[in-house]
Amino acid sequence: MNKIISKNNKISNGTRRSIIFSLLIIFGLLVSTKIVFAFSFFPQFAGRIVYSPAIEIASYQMMGFQCAVPGTTFSIYPIGSRAGTPTSYLVPSGIYSKTRNAIRISQLIMGKYSFKTPIVCTSATIPPVIVTVPLDTVTMFGNSR
């Protein structure tokens, strides 16, 4: 056991300091170029926009419901999933594309989302029927032209 410890002692203090200093410089460069922050606590999404407004919202509106949407909704086919499984998102008012492109069908899109926002849809019947549609809320995104 003493031999294992003595092997590690062959590295001089100057070499250890230079290794640590080099790692700190590399970490600093990654942070300054924002590469480290690509790994975030928020889930990420990427895909092709296939519906705008989102499928759930559009289906209720076709049935005569009025939906109070605080922004823009869209549905995508996520990259790597079957074409028949769209996922819907809400982009709140005040969140804009990092690429400054408006959301349109057939664009590629990627971004981050957080909590679900409930969208309330109300029917025009008496008594009114109220339906809540939860959609993932986009916090940051970029889309193609």
Q: For residue range 45-60, what is the model confidence (pLDDT) as tens digits? A: 888 888 888 899 999 9
Distance of CA 22 to the CA centre of its chain: 33
Looking at the fold, whether 18 and 71 belong to one and the same domain comes out as no
Residues 114 and 70 reside in one and the same domain: yes
Please report, as a single letter, which amino acid is at residue 136: D
Note whether 87 and 132 are same-domain residues.
yes
Least Cα distance to 141 among 82, 74, 81 occurs for 74
How high is the pLDDT of residue 20? Answer: 79
Helices (H), 9-93: 13-32, 55-62
Listed in sequence order, the residues at least 6 apart from 4 whose beta carbon sits closer than 8 Å to its beta carbon are none
Q: How many CB atoms lie within 10 A of CB 119?
A: 23
Length of the chain: 145
Q: How many domains is the chain partitioned into structurally? A: 2
Task: Please tell me the predicted confidence (pLDDT) of residue 41.
Answer: 62
Residue for token digits 């700190």? 24
Answer yes or no: do 74 and 136 share one domain.
Answer: yes
pLDDT of residue 66: 92
Closest CA to 119 of 140, 143, 142, 88: 88
The per-residue pLDDT of the chain, averaged, comes to: 80
* In a shared domain, residues 22 and 48: no
Tokens for 37?
């922050």
69 and 112 inside one domain: yes
Same domain, yes or no: 6 and 76 = no
Residues 95 and 124 in one domain: yes
Which structural domain range is residue 100 located in? 44-143
pLDDT digits (tens, 9 = 90+) for 15-41: 777 787 777 777 777 666 555 455 556
66, 15: one domain: no
Same domain, 49 and 113: yes
> 111 with 97, same domain?
yes
